Amino acid sequence: MVSNGASQLALSGGRPRRRGWTALACALAVGGAGLATGCAAPATAAAPPIKLSSAQISQPGAGGVTDVYVDVQNNGPADELVGARLSVGGKVTLRSPVRPGVIEMRTVPGIVIPARTFMGLDPNGPHLLVTDAGKMTSGHEITVTLVFAHAGAVSVPAMVTNPATGGASYFLN
């Protein structure tokens, strides 16, 4: 009777075959671990709670001041818009009516975005006031980034429009 080690030597022409089996076992272990890890990952990534669309910015006038309007869809819990920036720089201030129904605006530290709602930042409601920005030409696209207390920074492209030439109604989705 031949021992187990001797039978391996006889079958492999005198060379031990243990190295091949060890490599195969390692490959199977690594592959199996990779498959098991992949099975634990979620099938789809969760949608972000805040989605921005229809962003518009009017070409600044002679004083370099303009407003930004953006539609905000909040699919999650209540959040607060606490800041914003543009790809062309400048200072962005959060503005809101002094009280409901009054067009007089004031600077505010944040704009509450209620849970599971659609809210438009528009001329008669909360919106963004921009000063000292870089060049913005009608028909060109810039990036607007809104910063939320919980959702973090969310960006959207915005078309620069010129109300004097009838471009004020252009909204980019």
In the chain, where the domains are located: 4-40, 50-169
* Cβ-based neighbour number of residue 153 at 10 Å: 12
Task: Give the model's confidence band at 133: pLDDT under 50 very low, under 70 low, under 90 confident, else very high.
Answer: very high
Q: Where are the strands (E) in 24-101, listed by range?
A: 50-58, 66-74, 79-86, 91-97
What radius of gyration, in Å, describes the C-alpha atoms of the chain? Answer: 30
Q: Which residue has the higher pLDDT, 138 or 29?
A: 138
pLDDT of residue 91: 97
Strands 152-161 and 50-58: parallel
Q: Which residue has the higher pLDDT, 29 or 132?
A: 132
* Two tokens, residue 43: 């099938």
pLDDT of residue 166: 67
Q: Is the dihedral of CA 172, 93, 96, 161 positive or negative?
A: negative
Task: Give the model's confidence band at 9: pLDDT under 50 very low, under 70 low, under 90 confident, else very high.
Answer: very low
User: Are the C-beta atoms of residues 59 and 137 closer than 8 Å to each other?
Assistant: yes
Nearest 5°: phi and psi at 24? Answer: -65, -45
Region 50-169: CATH code: 2.60.40.1890
Residues 6+ apart with CB under 8 A from 45: none
Counting Cβ atoms within 10 Å, is residue 165 exposed (0-12), middle (13-18) or buried (19+)? exposed
Residues 6+ apart with CB under 8 A from 34: none
pLDDT of residue 152: 97
Residues 46, 9: Cα–Cα separation, whole Å = 56
Per-residue pLDDT averaged across 109-137, rounded?
95
